[in-house]
Each structure stands twice: as structure tokens, then as C-alpha cells.
């Protein structure tokens, strides 16, 4: 979804992960040591400065009336000895050592807790720069970041990619208008795409009119007449397909100006606008032949879920670098959330092979499903009856039907 | 249902499959990928601290030395006053500089902390927003690595994630890169000198390896030499060899000999072995080499994060069905551009059947088992029940048009 429903602010959410609380403690120690070290440094410098200034003022004192020139050498020698004893460089070194220890601890803890090399599973295939730029530009335009997209296409020296903008301009114009409570562009769009929407079973046009109607009614007073006129023009034609809804809206007329007291109060909620914006965005994308989510977002999300497993695999396969580059299929299964399951994948429980055109899934009379290869093996390629591996029922090859998921 | 092991013999041995992890530990797993996120600002902070400490050390040692010196000599009062006053002002200058650099250190430390906070914020409830920001961070990283600085800065500002991205670190690199592209090695050499003590550390064993010098420095010196030869400044070139290249002879003799031999040629030589040394593309190689050293120093991956995540993501999403005509638009691999990127990547592997209803797009699992039509086409129970309810008990297969009764459907058991 391009626009998100308002989510809970970060601050209201529950417990933080232990992972980060321990590391934060280690880092806070670093901060503390840093402050200590810098104040110590300040102290040391101040002290040395003080000593020197003291000697300076001593030397600058007018000579005693009875004596000749005082030899500064003795005083300076005294200063030198004093400073040497104080040993400022040693002091600075030791406070630095303290700080370095804290720094080292933090480095250790993040190196231990996090995966230091996430590129271990990266194969050195060339990602075509132009294709990648195309994907990024399309992503920016799809998210409505038109200026950013333009800036990117300029910097990447790909001026042609600007053409990817066009389909989304209309959509964002509509959404912008909706945010300013102007439903006209949305209604126009819904009207133009009426057939498509009906085919999908979408009631978008109805919902838009409903929202406009309710807004009108809220103004109260003379608005009732206006709303009635609106209903006659726009709601009446929809009555055939949305009878119940239209009747409900007609009922609203009785509460013009005080809908919040009526049984239809929820129609006033601001989330109605958000929900409708989301739906309009979804329908627009659908009409454009686009997905609901940015494909870049989906692909990166799948990468985030899959990478930890792939990295574990890369460790195991470290010795076989060439095999890694040449493999046709990942040798290990990666569990992804169901939001990333776009296709049906059948895995035969017996042979663990994935179903394909050459080796399709087949259902036995008992209802259990195996791949054709396994069934052939069980029946020894004849028409002899064999027992299902999962239940006592017997079957022959001819009784098994191919499935199409 | 536990399957009885079949005496099949040819079944491929499968690796142990981990149980599907809970959502929270999934999130934790994803956080573990963020090493670079924490490492880079921390390395930056450490560098500032190192530079500061060195400065303080240097100044303090100089002061001590001066005091020792003057206390050893005979001098007049005026001279003594003069020396001491200059020492005092030196220390005051040091304090001023320290104030500045402390402020910088504080900001850098704050940034480290802010990133820790950001990681700690990830919950199941705000996953959406957090992932959104992650995509933006990954895109900024990409822009910076490809030197699209304006886009990077704009994106960071627009999304308000300046603390979460490393624009300033990359801008440091920009100076060196720009100079190299202008055929100037000075900033690059300065960078090598600045980071000498770090570059010497061997990453493999994580212990300081004293005599290993950064190869980059050698390459830079070689290039400067080649430019002198190109300009036909033979005398200068020879002096340069003696001063800057000879020390590398102990470890890289052959290479050294090869490059010095260019003195015998002119820059438009046709001899392959030496023509390649005069090639202007060597400057581009230097830029690449610098970028690599730079990334290594800060603990960054050599490849952009975008490439790493995309490669992994496309591979785990890739199935033969993605390439079919009717592949759902929700799958990124339904798009030409993504298909192209994924063309050389391996297909994903599944250990268990995961079936998706063609009509509702929902998973067909224990709660919503698959139902089989007389023609072998399969849909979810819920979708079929829905359809039957709206059509008086009749089912129409959306793919073949076959009409049958709900009662004709058979449940399939997927193990």
C-alpha cells in the first residue's frame, strides 16, 4: 500500500528487544568514559598551564631592590622537574587507555551480536546498472516522490527514465485532491473505469458518492436540498446495484447537520477518508497493471527474510565457491512469511521433489497427493494396486488424477 | 500424520528443516543484518578520538620538550618570559581546538546512540513503518556508493533519516574520489597517511600486522610516477622512484621493476605490456581501489546494500511459475526488469508444499484445505463455499469454465 493507515507511534509500543538493551549499556559506558577522558584531558592541560603561568608571573616580578638580575634558570629547572613529576603525557595516555578499553568492548559486542559480513552469500553476478536504475526510478515515481525521481534520473544520467512517471501522475493528482477533501478527480476516474471496476466487483464509485453525500449533509441547513439534488443525480443510478446502501443514505437525510447524533455516525469518522484513499490507490494501481506494494519493497523484504538463512548456508559452502556461483537452485529451503508466497509450490512428501510439468502432483482415491514419479515408483510402473504411504487405502495408477493448483 | 519411511532408495537426502520461527525472533534475525549500520558511525567516532588524542599528545610533548630545553640553557628574563608566554598561548590554542573537537565527538556519539535506539524500536506492531525506513536507508546507501550525492541528501532529508545514514562519511570519500578523477593523487595519499595505523591491521586475524602497508599507497605512487614519465620529466621521475617507490622494492620487486621500465618507453608506445600502464583507465581502477579500502576501513560491505538484499530476495522468490504469462502482479518477478536481474540467480527451494488459492490468493492449509474439482483444478474451501453460496450450490472453474456442483468436490490431503 502506498498510503498507510495511521499506526501507533513508536513510543506507545511494548518491550524492547534484549538484543539492543545490552548493547546500549555497553555504549553508555563508552559515552561515560569519553566524558571522563575529555575532562581529565582538560584537567591536565589546565594544570600544566597553571604551573607555567605561575612561573611566568614569578619571573615577571620586579627584581629585588638590592640584587642584580635574577637568573630564571633555577626557576625554570624547578618548573621542569615539577612537570616531569606530574607526567602529563603519562596521565593522558592512561586515560586514553581506559577509553580504548571501553571502545574495544563495544566493538567486540557488536561484532559478536551482528553478522559482520552480510555479503558472504553474494555472488559476483553483474546486476545490470540500467535495469537497476529503472527499478529505482519506477519505485520513486510509484511512491509519489516525483521530484526525487527526477533528481535521480538526472544524476544517474538516465533521462529516458522520466517517462516512467506518467502513469502515476494522474493517480497522485487524484490522491492529493482527496487529501484536500476534493472528490471530483476521483469520481471522474471511477466513472471512466466503471466497467473495469464492476468486473472486479468493486463498489468504489458508490463509496465515493457516499462520502461526498455525507460531507454535503454535514453542512446542515440548506445543504439538505443540495444533498437531495445530489442523491437524485448520482445515487439514483446506483440504486439498482446497491439498493441497501442507497436506502441507508436516504435515511441520513433526516439527520442533515446532526449526523453525529444519528445511527449513521460512523460515516463521519475521518478514517473513512483514509480507507477510501487507500482503496482508490489500490484500484488505480490495479488499473495500471501494477501491484499494490512497490515491487522493490517486496523484493527487499524477501531478501531481509531470506538472507540470514543464505548466510548460514554460505558458511557451510565456503569451500565450494565455484559451486555457489553455478548452482541452478538453492540447496536449502528458506522459510518466508506467507505475504511472500505468490505461487503454489507442491513438494512431494515422499520424494521431496518440487512439482513441475514433467512431474505433476496427482491425487489418489484416498485424497492424499503425491507426485507422479513417486506414484510410478510405488506401482512399479504397472497397473498393480499399491498402498498409499499415509493410509491403508489401495490405488492403481489409472485411478490417480493430475492436479492443477 | 507421520509418514512411514518408504523403502524408496532414491529419495534425495534433505537437510534438516528448522521449525518456522516466531515473529519476534524473525525480527531479531533481521536486526542482526545491521552490523554496518552501527559500525560505520562508531569507526568515524573512533577516528575523531584518535586524531584528537594525537593532537593533544603532540602538543603536550612539544610543551614538555620546550620546558626541558629552556631549563637547560642560560637565558635572560625577557627570553624566558617570551618562551613561557608562547607556551601558554599554545596550550590555550589547544584547549580551543579541543572544545571544537569535543563537540564533534559528542555529535558522533549521539548518532551512534540514535542508531541503537532505532534498532531497539522495531516491534511487530510497527514493522511496516520500520521496513519503509529500511528501504530508504538502503537506497541512500546505494546513491552514496554510486556518487549520486544530491539524490542521497535529498532522500535523507525528505524522509528525515539524516542520523540513520552516512552521508558525511561518504562526502569525505568524495573529495578523494573527485581529485582522483582529476588525476590528482594528493588527497588520496593524505587519506592513506591519516589512516595508516588502521590500514595496517590485518582483517583476517584482527591483530596489527606491523609491516604490511596499504597497497593503495603503492598504486598511487606508481601512478604519479607514470604521469611524470608521460610528461617526459625523466629526471623528476627518477628522483621520484628513489624517494617514494624504492621502499616498496622489498615486498613488490617485480611490480616495481615493471613500472620503472616505463622510463624506456613513450606514452604512445604500442608495446602491449607497457601500453596498459599508460592507459588512462588506470585512474578509474585507482578510484575503485580507494572505494574498496575505504569501505573496508569503515566496516562497510564492498557491494551496495541494495544489491545484497535484492540478490537474496530475488533468489528466494524465484520459481518457474514467476515466468508464466498469468503470474500475479504482486510478485515482483512478474516485471521484466526484475526478471532480468534474476536471470542468473538460482531458483528457490521449498521443503514443504505451500499452496495458494487461485481465487482468493490465500494459503490453502489445514484451516482452509484445498478442494479438487472433477477436472483436477484446485481451489480453497472458503473460495468454493463462497461461490456455491452465491450461485445456488454451483461451482464454475474460473480457469476452464467447467461447471459442477459443490458436492462434486473432493478434499485433498497435503502432507
Contact list, A329 vs chain B (CB under 8 Å): 346-349
Q: Tell me if B72 sits within 8 A of A19, measured CB to CB.
A: no
Prediction pTM value: 0.84
Query: Which of B61, B120, B155 is nearest residue A148 as measured by Cβ atoms?
Result: B155
Cell of A236: 439514483
Mean pLDDT of B174-198: 87
Q: Rounded to a whole number, what is the distance in Å from the CA of A119 to chain B's nearest CA?
A: 6
Contact with chain A for residue B128, Cβ under 8 A: yes
Contact with chain A for residue B82, Cβ under 8 A: no
Point out the least confidently predicted range of A196-210, A267-281, A305-319, B202-216: B202-216
Query: Which of A72, A328, A378 is nearest residue B75 as measured by Cβ atoms?
Result: A72
pLDDT of A84 > 50? The answer is yes
Q: Per-residue pLDDT tens for B340-376?
A: 999 989 999 888 899 999 888 889 988 899 999 999 9
Contact with chain B for residue A177, Cβ under 8 A: no
Q: Rounded to a whole number, what is the distance in Å from the CA of A266 to chain B's nearest CA?
A: 25
ipTM of the complex: 0.84
Q: Which residue has the higher pLDDT, A6 or A213?
A: A213
Record: contact B341-A131, CB cut-off 8 A: yes
Contact list, B74 vs chain A (CB under 8 Å): 71, 73
Q: Rounded to a whole number, what is the distance in Å from the CA of B81 to chain A's nearest CA?
A: 6
Point out the least confidently predicted range of B15-29, B33-47, B147-161: B15-29
Record: contact A331-B349, CB cut-off 8 A: yes
Q: Which residue has the higher pLDDT, A192 or A75?
A: A192
Record: contact B64-A305, CB cut-off 8 A: no
Distance in angstroms (rounded) separating the CA atoms of residues A253 and A267: 13
Contact list, A68 vs chain B (CB under 8 Å): none
Q: Rounded to a whole number, what is the distance in Å from the CA of A4 to chain B's nearest CA?
A: 9
Record: contact B60-A345, CB cut-off 8 A: no
Q: How confident is the model at residue A318 (pLDDT cuts 50, 70, 90)?
A: low
Contact with chain B for residue A3, Cβ under 8 A: no
3 state SS for chain A: CCCCCCCCCHHHCCCCCHHHHHHHHHHHHHHHHHHHHHHHHHHHHHHHHHHHHHHHHHHHCCCCCCCCCCCHHHHHHHHHHHHHHHCHHHHHHHHHHHHHHHHHHHHHHHHHHCCCCCCCCCCCCCCCHHHHHHHHHHHHHHCCCHHHHHHHHHHCCCHHHHHHHHHHHHHHHHHHHHHCCCCHHHHHHHHHCHHHHHHHCCCHHHHHHHHHHHHHHHCCCCHHHHHHHHHHHHHHHHCCCCHHHHHHHHHHHHHCCCHHHCCCHHHHCCHHHHHHHHHHHHHHHHHCCCCCCCHHHHHHHHHHHHHHHHHHHHHHCCCCHHHHHHCCECCCCCCCCHHHCCCCECECCCCCCECCCCCCEEECCCCEEEEHHHHHHHCCCCCCCEECCCCCCEECHHHCEECEC
Query: Which of B60, B148, B363 is nearest residue A88 as measured by Cβ atoms?
Result: B60
Contact list, B48 vs chain A (CB under 8 Å): none
Record: contact B354-A70, CB cut-off 8 A: no
Record: contact A89-B57, CB cut-off 8 A: yes
pLDDT of B6 > 70? The answer is no
Point out the least confidently predicted range of A59-73, A272-286, B332-346, B381-395: A59-73
Question: Least CA distance to B376: which residue of chain A?
Answer: A403
Record: contact B35-A127, CB cut-off 8 A: no
Amino acid at each position: 500500500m502506498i498510503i498507510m493507515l495511521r499506526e501507533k507511534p513508536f513510543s506507545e509500543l511494548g518491550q524492547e528487544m534484549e538484543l539492543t538493551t545490552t548493547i546500549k549499556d555497553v555504549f553508555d559506558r563508552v559515552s561515560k568514559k569519553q566524558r571522563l577522558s575529555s575532562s581529565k584531558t582538560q584537567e591536565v592541560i589546565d594544570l600544566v598551564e597553571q604551573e607555567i603561568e605561575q612561573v611566568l608571573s614569578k619571573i615577571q616580578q620586579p627584581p629585588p631592590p638590592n640584587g642584580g638580575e635574577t637568573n630564571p634558570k633555577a626557576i625554570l629547572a624547578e618548573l621542569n622537574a615539577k612537570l616531569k613529576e606530574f607526567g602529563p603525557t603519562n596521565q593522558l595516555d592512561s586515560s586514553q587507555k581506559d577509553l580504548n578499553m571501553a571502545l574495544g568492548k563495544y566493538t567486540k559486542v557488536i561484532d559478536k551480536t551482528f553478522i559482520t559480513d552480510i555479503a558472504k552469500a553474494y555472488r559476483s553476478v553483474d546486476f545490470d546498472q540500467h535495469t537497476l536504475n529503472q527499478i529505482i526510478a519506477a519505485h520513486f515515481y510509484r511512491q509519489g516522490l516525483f521530484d526525487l525521481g527526477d533528481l535521480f534520473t538526472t544524476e544517474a544520467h538516465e533521462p529516458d527514465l522520466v517517462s516512467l512517471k506518467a502513469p502515476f501522475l494522474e493517480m497522485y493528482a487524484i490522491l492529493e485532491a482527496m487529501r484536500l477533501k476534493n472528490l471530483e478527480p476521483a469520481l471522474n476516474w471511477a466513472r471512466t473505469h466503471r466497467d473495469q471496476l464492476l468486473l472486479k466487483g468493486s463498489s468504489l464509485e458508490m463509496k465515493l458518492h457516499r462520502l461526498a453525500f455525507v460531507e454535503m449533509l454535514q453542512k446542515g441547513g440548506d445543504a439538505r436540498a443540495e444533498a437531495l439534488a445530489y442523491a437524485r443525480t448520482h445515487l439514483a443510478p446506483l440504486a439498482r446495484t446497491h439498493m441497501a446502501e442507497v436506502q441507508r443514505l436516504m435515511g441520513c437525510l433526516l439527520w442533515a447537520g446532526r449526523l453525529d447524533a444519528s445511527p449513521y455516525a460512523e460515516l463521519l469518522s475521518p478514517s473513512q477518508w483514509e480507507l477510501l484513499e487507500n482503496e482508490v490507490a489500490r484500484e488505480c494501481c490495479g488499473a495500471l497493471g501494477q501491484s499494490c506494494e512497490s515491487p522493490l519493497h517486496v523484493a527487499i523484504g524477501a531478501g531481509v527474510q531470506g538472507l540470514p538463512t543464505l548466510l548460514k548456508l554460505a558458511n557451510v559452502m565456503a569451500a565450494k565457491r565455484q559451486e555457489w556461483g553455478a548452482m541452478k537452485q538453492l540447496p536449502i529451503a528458506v522459510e518466508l512469511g506467507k505475504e511472500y508466497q505468490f505461487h503454489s509450490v507442491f513438494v512431494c512428501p515422499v520424494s521431496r521433489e518440487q512439482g513441475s510439468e514433467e512431474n505433476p502432483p496427482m491425487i489418489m482415491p484416498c485424497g492424499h497427493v503425491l507426485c507422479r514419479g513417486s506414484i510410478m515408483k510405488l506401482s512399479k510402473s504397472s497397473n498393480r494396486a499399491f498402498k498409499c504411504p499415509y493410509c491403508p487405502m489401495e490405488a492403481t495408477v489409472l485411478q490417480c488424477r493430475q492436479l492443477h493448483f | 500424520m507421520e509418514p512411514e519411511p518408504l523403502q524408496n532408495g532414491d529419495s534425495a537426502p534433505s537437510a534438516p528443516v528448522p521449525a518456522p520461527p516466531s515473529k519476534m525472533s524473525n525480527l531479531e534475525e533481521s536486526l542482526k543484518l545491521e552490523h554496518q549500520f552501527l559500525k560505520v558511525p562508531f569507526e568515524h567516532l573512533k577516528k575523531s578520538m584518535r586524531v584528537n588524542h594525537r593532537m593533544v599528545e603532540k602538543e603536550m610533548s612539544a610543551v614538555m620538550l620546550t620546558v626541558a630545553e629552556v631549563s637547560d640553557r642560560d637565558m635572560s628574563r625577557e627570553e624566558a618570559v617570551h618562551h613561557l608566554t608562547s607556551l601558554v598561548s599554545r596550550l590555550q590554542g589547544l584547549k580551543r581546538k579541543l572544545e571544537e573537537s569535543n563537540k564533534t565527538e559528542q555529535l558522533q556519539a549521539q548518532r551512534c546512540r540514535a542508531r541503537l535506539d532505532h534498532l531497539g524500536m522495531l516491534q511487530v506492531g510497527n514493522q511496516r513503518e520500520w521496513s519503509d525506513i529500511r528501504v530508504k536507508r538502503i537506497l541512500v546507501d546505494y546513491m552514496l556508493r554510486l556518487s549520486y550525492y544530491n539524490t542521497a541528501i535529498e532522500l535523507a532529508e525528505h524522509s528525515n533519516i539524516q542520523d540513520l545514514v552516512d552521508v558525511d562519511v561518504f562526502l569525505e570519500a568524495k573529495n578523494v574520489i573527485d581529485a582522483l578523477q582529476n588525476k590528482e593523487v594528493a588527497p588520496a595519499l593524505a587519506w592513506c597517511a591519516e589512516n595508516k595505523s588502521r590500514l595496517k591491521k590485518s582483517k583476517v586475524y584482527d591483530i596489527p600486522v606491523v609491516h604490511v602497508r596499504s597497497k593503495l599507497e603503492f598504486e598511487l605512487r606508481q601512478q604519479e610516477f607514470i604521469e611524470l614519465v608521460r610528461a617526459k620529466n625523466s629526471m623528476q621521475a627518477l628522483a621520484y622512484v628513489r624517494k617514494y617507490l624504492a621502499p616498496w622494492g622489498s615486498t613488490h620487486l617485480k611490480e616495481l621493476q615493471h613500472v620503472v621500465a616505463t622510463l624506456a618507453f613513450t606514452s604512445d608506445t604500442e608495446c602491449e605490456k607497457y601500453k596498459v600502464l599508460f592507459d588512462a583507465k588506470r585512474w578509474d581502477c585507482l578510484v575503485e581501489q580507494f572505494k574498496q579500502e575505504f569501505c573496508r576501513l569503515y566496516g562497510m560491505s564492498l557491494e551496495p546494500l541494495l544489491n545484497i538484499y535484492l540478490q537474496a530476495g530475488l533468489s528466494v522468490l524465484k520459481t518457474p511459475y514467476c515466468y508464466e504469462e498469468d503470474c500475479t502482479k504482486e510478485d515482483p518477478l512478474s516485471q521484466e526488469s526484475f526478471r532480468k536481474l534474476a536471470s542468473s540467480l538460482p531458483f528457490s527451494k521449498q521443503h514443504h508444499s505451500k499452496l495458494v488459492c487461485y481465487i482468493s490468493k490465500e494459503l490453502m492449509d489445514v484451516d482452509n484445505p484445498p478442494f479438487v474439482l472433477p477436472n483436477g483444478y484446485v481451489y480453497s474451501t472458503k473460495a468454493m463455499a463462497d461461490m456455491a453460496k452465491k450461485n445456488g450450490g454451483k461451482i464454475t472453474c474460473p480457469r476452464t469454465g467447467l461447471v459442477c456442483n459443490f458436492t462434486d468436490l473432493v478434499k485433498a490431503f497435503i502432507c
